[in-house]
Amino acid sequence: MSTTQLQIMRRIGTRSAKAQEYRRLMPELPATPRTVKHALVPNRNRLMIAAGRLFSIITQLRYKPDYEDLPALRGHLLKELQQFQCTAERFGYDVDSIMISRYSLCAGIDDIINKTTWGIKGDWQSMSLLSNLQQGITSDERFFLILDKACRAPQKFIDTIELMYICLNLGFEGKFRDQKYERNRLQQMIDYVYSVIRKSRGEFDRCLSPSIYKTAMPPRRKFPLAGIILTSCLIIIGIYGSMNYLLGIYSNQATQQLQHITNTISTTT
């Protein structure tokens, strides 16, 4: 076996091991539809592409009934966040956009886990992804401060604003989590962010599917009823003709065989 073949096999083995580890930590869950107010236009934001796996993880964590090995989960999430950062850097984003986006994803994941029974029971707050980055101000408050400043400079941060907008739609509540009477303010914030994106991007779809983006389906071709009936009749006639032809062949063969038997008996007698 050549050196190149060995290298290819090692790469395949490494990728397979990573995939198995991902499935172990994040088993598949039944799709749970979530309807929110707005959606984004695809193929404009490469930060969203870089964060695709993390968005998928957030969706799974929301509906996971239990989780035992929180340290392993934290390690897995940190690796995914590092991969997101590397991908964003490769796409050419500046340091500010990457750091704000990474912070927003960490805050979103922490918020989701802290609302689950297993996150509360396992004291996720003490090992949160942002536990070493708060610097005297809570992540619940900082998220909205950063979002407000970013919305004042959409020309520079529009991709980051869209990413934070998706975090809100996936369930991030932050400082509004324990303030039920201020949920309207959270919705007003979401609507405000939507308006900022719309002014920058233009109007976009207001129906968000579980996969975030819709896939356009080609229009179905319509056939006239008369054509369907005529086609069905031709098929039936064709089947009848074929059966009649085959029956004639088998009948002739049977008649010939009977005649042969009769002639044989007559000759013998």
CATH number for 129 = 1.25.40.590
The answer to whether residues 51 and 115 belong to one domain is: yes
The answer to whether residues 236 and 119 belong to one domain is: no
The answer to whether residues 235 and 156 belong to one domain is: no
The answer to whether residues 44 and 201 touch, using CB atoms and an 8 Å cutoff, is: yes
- From residue 195, alpha-carbon distances to 85, 185, 188, 199 in Å are 27, 15, 10, 6
8 vs 197, higher pLDDT: 197
122 vs 241, higher pLDDT: 122
141 vs 210, higher pLDDT: 141
Once rounded to an integer, what is the mean pLDDT over residues 164-186?
A: 83
Closest CA to 159 of 213, 110, 202, 201: 201
pLDDT above 90 coverage of the chain, percent: 41
The answer to whether residues 84 and 131 belong to one domain is: yes
Once rounded to an integer, what is the mean pLDDT over residues 204-211?
A: 46
Q: Is residue 2 part of a domain?
A: no
**Contact residues for 157 (Cβ-Cβ < 8 A; gap 6+):** 96, 97, 100, 150, 151
Once rounded to an integer, what is the mean pLDDT over residues 127-145?
A: 73
Per-residue pLDDT at 41 exceeds 50: no
217 vs 181, higher pLDDT: 181
Q: What pLDDT does 63 receive?
A: 87
The answer to whether residues 135 and 34 belong to one domain is: yes
Residue pointed to by tokens 């989780």: 67
The answer to whether residues 66 and 185 belong to one domain is: yes
The answer to whether residues 32 and 94 belong to one domain is: yes
The answer to whether residues 45 and 159 touch, using CB atoms and an 8 Å cutoff, is: yes
88 vs 174, higher pLDDT: 88
Per-residue pLDDT at 212 exceeds 90: no
Burial 177-197 (b: 16+ CB within 10 A, else e): eeeeeeeeebeebbeebbebb
The answer to whether residues 93 and 184 belong to one domain is: yes
The answer to whether residues 177 and 198 touch, using CB atoms and an 8 Å cutoff, is: no
Q: How many Cα atoms occupy the beta-carbon half-sphere of 106 within 13 Å?
A: 26
Domain range for 134: 20-201
Per-residue pLDDT at 245 exceeds 60: no
CA angle, residues 62, 123, 186, in degrees to nearest 5: 45
Count CB neighbours of 73 within 10 A. Answer: 23
- Out of 17-31, 78-92, 197-211, 238-252, pick the least confident: 17-31
φ/ψ of 67, rounded to 5, equals -155, 125
Q: How confident is the model at residue 32 (pLDDT cuts 50, 70, 90)?
A: very low
Q: What pLDDT does 251 receive?
A: 55
Tally of domains within the chain: 2
Q: What pLDDT does 204 receive?
A: 58
Q: What pLDDT does 177 receive?
A: 77
Count CB neighbours of 171 within 10 A. Answer: 17
Q: How confident is the model at residue 91 (pLDDT cuts 50, 70, 90)?
A: very high
Q: How far is 22 from 68, CA to CA, in rounded Å?
A: 15
Q: Is the pTM of this model over 0.85?
A: no
Once rounded to an integer, what is the mean pLDDT over residues 109-121?
A: 93
Q: How confident is the model at residue 174 (pLDDT cuts 50, 70, 90)?
A: confident
Q: What pLDDT does 34 receive?
A: 38
Q: What pLDDT does 17 receive?
A: 55
**Residue 110 CB-density burial (10 A; 0-12 exposed, 13-18 middle, 19+ buried):** buried
Q: How many helices (H) and strands (E) does the chain have?
A: 10, 0
134 vs 143, higher pLDDT: 143
Q: What pLDDT does 140 receive?
A: 67
Report the mean per-residue pLDDT for the chain.
74
Please state whether 43 falls in left (phi above 0), alpha (psi between -120 and 50) or beta: left
The answer to whether residues 50 and 81 belong to one domain is: yes
246 vs 178, higher pLDDT: 178
Q: How far is 29 from 20, CA to CA, in rounded Å?
A: 16
Count CB neighbours of 105 within 10 A. Answer: 28
First vs last C-alpha separation in the chain: 80
